[in-house]
């Protein structure tokens, strides 16, 4: 009976043997057959004496997986080699997909082992300093298998989230504009002076390293053997080294090690999960002219989070001149009917680009039909998708403003309605209706529990 074969999925690291794990070398030594992209085969050529070697070109990834499975079914030990970590943009995924689609399971006599290796991003990072010390992500710019809009959304999210970004497959002979588009997206949220490390053939014979500004990135010598590391807003270059701080300076004095005022060793930062909303309230107290929307932009958080910080205010920790209460989720349709008695209103609608439209209306003008909240008159047409209204907040700014803010599922403003005052102030009946509705429809206030590390 033919013995059961085995598939070893081997990450060989950047290419230099001293950076290959002992298990990777052992796996290749065990193998009867070694399969890989021709460039990877060359990197381990001196380990292949007496082996059956199968070289494959680019775009033949599935062929490699098929070959590995066929040889394993013949009872052979097969090592499929890949640079970096074979589980990161490597052949582990396609091979498992093929095996599982073929009916293989982990209980099958053919065993599969993934042998990890040093990734391109970690090995390239080691050559330029310590750029990955804080949160980072990797994004491949190859659109051979991934639609560009998906790649672009990833770049946008990483840029907005202030991640250090490792760009794989940044450029090829035919794909020359992808790195330019990536640069444009990153520059929407990053300074042109953001450090960028460009490492070509790291730990290989033709290794070449550049550290440039983000504004210069797309003009550099970049190819398929290049990994690009884009810093975050804190990354700096000093003495030729690219470093992303871990954040110790937020809590400790760098020279003395003493804990900074307001912080505690071993505890979350004052701007941590439990404390950051208190910082929002302090910001609103210290900047009385700021709007809630401006506070949301300052903290780079959805408006819903700022309103929740205001909701949690106490007599000892006020939110400046603001107060806010969230309407109960089951009250939205009843609230819509209650608007009819609020009299003259100012409807405020914001576009995603930041434009603000302010329209003077009457509460009785609001009509809901087929999920749309509409106002149609000779002066304007206003149509709001009421189905997107996920959260409604009663908001007051001292005696200067009273109204509601309607938010979407992401916690951003869908539209606002504000009572309109004349020279003598707010209409007393309208203000009474607003206050009564706030009392009637507000959700119970539940203070957040205090947690300890």
Residues 36 and 132 in one domain: no
Predicted confidence at residue 209, as pLDDT, reads 96
**Domain stop point among 118, 135, 157:** 118
Choose between 350 and 156: higher pLDDT: 156
Q: Are residues 144 and 237 in the same domain?
A: yes
One domain for residues 103 and 180: no
Long-range contacts of 246-250 (CB under 8 A, 24+ apart): 246/133, 246/134, 247/134
Confidence of residue 255 (pLDDT cuts 50, 70, 90): low
Query: Of 95, 118, 141, at which residue does a domain stop?
Result: 118
Residue 29 in tokens = 């030594």
285 within domain boundaries: no
CB 362 within 8 A of CB 348: no
359 found inside a domain? yes
Instruction: Count the domains in the chain.
Output: 3
Residues 6+ apart with CB under 8 A from 340: 363, 364, 366
Which whole number is the average pLDDT over 65-88?
A: 95
Specify whether 128 is located in the same domain as 238: yes
- Region 427-440: what's the mean pLDDT? 92
83-92, 119-128, 262-271, 379-388: segment of lowest average pLDDT: 262-271
Instruction: Look up the domain containing 19 and give its range.
Output: 6-118
At 451, is the pLDDT very low, low, confident or very high (cuts 50, 70, 90)? very low
Model confidence at 445: pLDDT above 70:
no
Q: Where are the alpha helices (DSSP H) in 313-444?
A: 332-338, 428-441
- Which of 252-256, 336-340, 397-401 comes out lowest in average pLDDT? 252-256
Out of 40-44, 57-61, 265-269, 306-310, give the one with best mean pLDDT: 306-310
Please give the full DSSP string across 52-81, using - where no structure is assigned.
Answer: EEEEE-TT-HHHHHHHHHHHHHTT-EEEEE
Is there a single domain that holds both residue 392 and residue 381?
yes
Q: Is the alpha carbon torsion for 327, 330, 331, 337 positive or negative? A: positive
Is residue 253 a part of any domain in this protein?
Answer: no
Contact 337, 451 (CB under 8 A): no
Within 8 A by CB and 6+ apart from 274, the residues are 268, 448, 450, 451
**In whole numbers, what is the pLDDT of the chain averaged over residues?**
91
109 DSSP assignment: S
pLDDT value of position 260: 79
* Residues 199/127, Cβ–Cβ less than 8 Å: yes
Residues 106 and 217 in one domain: no
Query: Based on the domain organization, do 29 and 96 belong to the same domain?
Result: yes
308-353 tens-digit pLDDT: 999 999 999 999 999 999 999 899 889 888 988 898 999 998 887 8
Domain boundary among 209, 243, 277: 243
Q: Quick one: what percent of the chain has pLDDT higher than 70?
A: 96
Specify if 152 maps to a domain: yes
Do 37 and 109 share a domain, yes or no?
Answer: yes
- The answer as to whether 275 is a domain residue is no
Whether this model's pTM surpasses 0.85? no
Can you state the angle between helices 303-311 and 276-286, rounded to 10 degrees?
A: 80
Q: At 264, is the pLDDT very low, low, confident or very high (cuts 50, 70, 90)?
A: confident
Residue 232 sits in a domain whose CATH number is: 3.30.950.10
CA distance 14 to 204: 7
The H or E element containing residue 410 is none
Half-sphere exposure in the Cβ direction for 63 (13 Å, CA): 9
Given pLDDT bands bounded at 50, 70 and 90, which one contains residue 270? confident
Residue 378: per-residue pLDDT = 82
Question: Domain check: are 389 and 437 in the same one?
Answer: yes
d(CA 306, CA 299): 9
Query: Per-residue pLDDT for 273 more than 70?
Result: yes
pLDDT digits (tens, 9 = 90+) for 158-173: 999 999 999 999 998 8
265 belongs to a structural domain: no
Q: How confident is the model at residue 446 (pLDDT cuts 50, 70, 90)?
A: low
Q: How large is the average pLDDT for residues 236-243?
A: 97
**147 and 114 both lie in a single domain:** no
Q: Is residue 254 part of a domain?
A: no
pLDDT digits (tens, 9 = 90+) for 176-229: 999 999 999 999 999 999 999 999 999 988 899 999 999 999 999 999 899 999
What is the model's pLDDT at position 453? 43
Residue 217 φ/ψ, nearest 5 degrees:
-55, -50
Domain annotation covers residue 225: yes
Same domain for 105 and 159, yes or no, is no
């Amino acid at each position: 009976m033919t013995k059961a074969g085995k598939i070893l999925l081997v990450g060989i690291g950047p290419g230099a043997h001293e950076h290959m794990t002992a298990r990777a070398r052992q796996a290749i030594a065990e193998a009867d057959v070694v399969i890989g992209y021709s460039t990877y085969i060359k990197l381990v050529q001196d380990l292949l004496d007496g082996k059956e070697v199968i070289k494959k070109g680019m775009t033949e990834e599935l062929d490699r997986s098929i070959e590995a499975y066929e040889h394993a079914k013949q009872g052979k030990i097969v090592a499929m080699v890949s640079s970096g970590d074979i589980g990161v943009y490597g052949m582990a995924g396609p091979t498992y997909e093929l095996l599982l689609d073929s009916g293989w399971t982990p209980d099958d006599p053919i065993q599969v082992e993934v042998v990890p290796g040093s990734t391109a991003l970690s090995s390239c990072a080691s050559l330029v300093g310590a750029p990955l010390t804080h949160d980072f992500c990797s994004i491949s710019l190859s659109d051979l298998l991934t639609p560009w809009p998906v790649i672009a959304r990833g770049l946008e999210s990483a840029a907005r989230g202030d991640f250090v970004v490792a760009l794989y497959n940044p450029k090829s002979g035919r794909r020359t504009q992808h790195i330019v588009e990536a640069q444009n997206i990153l520059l929407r949220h990053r300074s042109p002076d953001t450090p960028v490390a460009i490492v070509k053939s790291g730990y290989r014979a033709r290794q070449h390293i550049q550290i440039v500004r983000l504004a210069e990135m797309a003009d550099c010598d970049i190819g398929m053997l290049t990994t690009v590391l884009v810093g975050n807003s804190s990354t700096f270059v000093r003495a030729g080294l690219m470093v992303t701080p871990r954040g110790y300076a937020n809590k400790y004095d760098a020279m003395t090690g003493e804990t900074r005022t307001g912080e505690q060793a071993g505890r979350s930062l004052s701007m941590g999960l439990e404390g950051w909303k208190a910082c929002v309230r302090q910001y609103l107290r210290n900047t009385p002219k700021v709007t809630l929307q401006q506070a949301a932009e300052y903290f780079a958080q959805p408006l819903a989070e700022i309103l929740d910080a205001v909701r949690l205010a106490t007599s000892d920790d006020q939110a400046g001149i603001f107060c806010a209460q969230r309407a109960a989720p089951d009250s939205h349709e009843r609230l819509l009917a209650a608007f009819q008695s609020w009299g003259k209103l100012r409807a405020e609608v914001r576009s995603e680009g930041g434009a603000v439209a302010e329209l003077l209306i009457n509460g009785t003008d609001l009509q809901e039909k087929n999920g749309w909240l509409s106002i149609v008159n000779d002066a304007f047409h206003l149509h709001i998708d009421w189905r997107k209204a996920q959260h409604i907040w009663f908001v007051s700014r001292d005696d200067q403003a009273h109204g509601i803010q309607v938010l979407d599922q992401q916690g951003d403003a869908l539209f606002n309605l504000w009572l309109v005052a004349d020279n003598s102030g707010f209409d007393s009946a309208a203000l009474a209706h607003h206050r009564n509705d706030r009392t009637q429809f507000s959700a119970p206030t539940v203070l957040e529990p205090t947690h300890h590390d």
